[in-house]
Structure 1
Amino acid sequence: MHLLGRSPIYDVHYESLVSNPELEIRKLIATCDLDWLSKCLKFNKSKSTITMASAVQVRKPIYTSSVGVWHKYQEHLQPLFDALDDD
């Protein structure tokens, strides 16, 4: 998490999350100053009511099939990457 005058945004890198979910989820929970619960790793097994449009997705385990897919669109995304680098 970025603090000390910077935006309080915690960056989660998808590739890191899918390759080592426990480590990344533990870091996120700690950054949020929340207590660790082992069921954080079993989010897809929860019986809680989900009222979001992505309810079906929430019930699925973390998957890796989207890793690197963005590369197909890199040419179109490059102007955005360049604009972000200007900051």
Structure 2
Amino acid sequence: MAAISIRDLDDSVKEKLRLRAARHGRSMEAEARAILTEAVTDERPRTDLFSALTERFARLGGVDLDLPARSHAVRAADLPE
């Protein structure tokens, strides 16, 4: 196994790493390993922006809107040439 050292890491970054590791029940070293592994492993399929936003905010639920009925028939756009 390889080992790396990270110099000049900002104290606030280290503190955030410590808190994140605690939330995940891991050591800071294990958390850093997981972050690096996820960053270089491209297993997730790329999605379009709409799909990414939908997935990210799906747990918040949706909104049902009452849309008024159309009063006019749909027509094609009249574009100048």
TM normalised by structure 1 equals 0.25
Greater RCO, 1 or 2 (C-alpha within 8 Å, sep 6+): 1
Give the helix-richer structure, 1 or 2. Answer: 1
